[in-house]
A = this chain, B = another copy of it.
Amino acid sequence: MKPTNPARLALNTVTVKERWNLRQAIEGCARHGLRGLAVWREDVNALGLAETKKLLDEHRLAVPALIRGGPFPAIDAAARKAAIDDALRGIDEAVAIGAQSLLLVVGGLPAGSRDLAGARAMVRDAIAAMLPHARAAGMKLALEPLHPMFCADKSVITSLEQANDLCDELEGDSSANLGVVIDAYQTWWDPMLEREILRAGRHGRLLGLHLDDWHLAPAHMSLDRGMMGDGVINLPVIRGWMDEAGFTGFHEVELFSANTWWKRDPDEVIEICKQRYATVC
């Protein structure tokens, strides 16, 4: 099988983070014919906003998402405000490099807290506080529900239904600046996934699809994500729901994989991404 250069396949730089810096990732993606690259704020700020934008334009790469805003929950009000201020700077950085969205990973429980409902309220309040600036800047905020196993330490938003409910609450039917990203690894187990993808589609709030896989017995909760096809997720089914829901954006490969994919030559990794992607789409 000789895969073509797929127009909708994007890489997330985390997939190649051990071997390539941002400049190398931009040049590498372009060399392999990819058209999308999701990037992280620390890398963008290290390279510089202007230089990042210049390189992305030179290599005709779109940025589906700048990562990230959050975490938002914190015990004291000053820390919550600092988190919001940092995310507002993230909006400006996303605008500066021409990203399509700022990804929000909302955060888990504050240190020492067992107040899950309270943490969820802090997340809602933080996003509400960001929306005016997102609207003024014309930037979309992309809410990513994480797997429930990350509820304590990474994201109190654990299902797409919950993310959709939050979008309804904060934007109602407008959905101009707040949307959702679906990550297969994070959401594949959800019995309501199809229903909630179609619901998000009806509101025009589908901002991304991450293609990765769940190993039958993961060696680590967060650092053993599988390459498409190496796990148990029926990716064509989820991709099909996204199609049906009207999603036309990038399909992004984001692999946190300390002992497997991070160890390999990024050129090989991207070639394998393209081959596997051809089996999904």
Contact = CB atoms under 8 A, between A and B. Distances in A.
A159 B189 CA distance: 10
Contacts of A190: 148, 158-159
Contacts of A189: 116, 148-149, 151-152, 158
B221 A149 contact: yes
A261 interface: no
A151 B218 CA distance: 12
Instruction: Kindly name the residue among A109, A159, A189 whose own CB sees the greatest number of chain B CB atoms within 10 A.
Output: A189
Chain A's interface: helix, strand, loop or mixed, by majority? loop
A216 B152 contact: yes
A214 to B, nearest CB: 6
A109 B232 contact: yes
Contacts of A162: 191
A234 B158 contact: no
A195 to B, nearest CB: 12
Contact of A233 (B114, B148, B217): B114
Contacts of A116: 188-189, 234
A120 interface: yes
A100 to B, nearest CB: 27
A191 B158 contact: yes
A243 interface: no
A199 to B, nearest CB: 15
A165 B148 CA distance: 20
A76 interface: no
Nearest to A148: B189
